[in-house]
Amino acid sequence: MIRRIGSIVRKELRSYFNSPIAYIVVVFFLAFTAIWFFYIGDFAAQDIASLRAYFGIMPVVLVLLVPALTMRSWAEEKKLGTDELLVTLPFREWELVVGKFLATYGLLLLTIVLTVFVPITVTRLGDFERGETIGQYLGMALLGSASVAIGLFVSSVSRNQISSFIIAAVILLAVTLLNQINTIVALPAAAASVINYVSLEFHFRSFNQGVLDTRDLIYFLVVTSLFLVLNRYVLVARKWR
């Protein structure tokens, strides 16, 4: 099983790096977040040794980054007509889903790791809390995991890459910023709690503050698992239709 998943991961990574999409997306992500932090956010003028402003913009940036990475995963297979071939090969549906997830998630993690130049650059400018920074990167990894799982599921039910990108971006934007409703409308406590619980950004906020809450950890793992399971069901349904 591990060998079959590994072959899928290698295939997916080759397809990413054989096209300019991966390079464009990674460069855009690194450039935009750095410019936002140093210039638009004016880090030097804040006189605060904190990276919260840098990581605070990450959930919104992932709304565009993740769909750009996941849009071609299953939608491209449909376009080329290889999706039906995949499900007839000696691969289990889980192996296909996990293989594509690990490849896309691995590329996203690489992109996140490349942002370390920002903490390294500003470390000499103040006494930054190392534990908080570690929590922020952990939160990014978990947020990215849930976002990739959602993006891949959307790709599996989309007709083409464009629709996959748009639908995934809209869903991620809605789920990410859902908690902002509570700042606009005074909802009953129970409804506000439900909205906060569904929001990706709400659960990432604790990590951005350096607080490791197991409830947030479980939330991201549940969301990731849920959409991977849904992705598998899509493949099973396609196989037997």
Distance CA 143, CA 227 (A): 13
Which pLDDT score is estimated for 220? 96
Tell me if 64 sits within 8 A of 170, measured CB to CB: no
CB 104 within 8 A of CB 69: yes
Q: Which amino acid is at 11?
A: K
Signed CA dihedral, 199, 201, 205, 207: sign only: positive
Please give the full DSSP string across 64-82, using - where no structure is assigned. Answer: HHHHHHHTTTTHHHHHHT-
Q: What value does the CA radius of gyration of the chain take, rounded to a whole number of Å?
A: 19
Token reading at 81: 């007509």
Domain assignment of residue 116, given as a range: 2-240
Which pLDDT value is given to residue 110? 92
Look up the pTM and report it: 0.90
pLDDT of residue 63: 93
| CA–CA distance, 22 with 88 (Å, rounded to integer) | 28
Element of type H or E holding 214: helix 214-240
Four-CA torsion 67, 71, 73, 74, nearest 10 degrees: 130
Contacts (Cβ under 8 Å, ≥6 apart) of 120: none
DSSP string over 141-199: HHHHHHHHHHHHHHHHH-SSHHHHHHHHHHHHHHHHSGGGHHHHS---HHHHHHHHHH-
pLDDT confidence of residue 153: 95
Domain count of the fold of the chain: 1
Tokens read off for 66? 């993740």
pLDDT of the residue at 7:
83
Rounded Cα distance, 170 and 103, in Å: 23
Which residues lie closer than 8 Å to 157 by C-beta, 6 or more apart? Answer: 234
pLDDT, mean of each 10-residue run, the chain (241 residues): 81 83 86 79 57 84 92 73 58 85 94 86 69 88 96 90 92 91 81 89 89 92 96 79 57
HSE-up of residue 185 (Cα within 13 Å, Cβ side): 8
In this prediction, residue 145 carries a pLDDT of 97
CA dist 67 and 147 (Å) reads 9
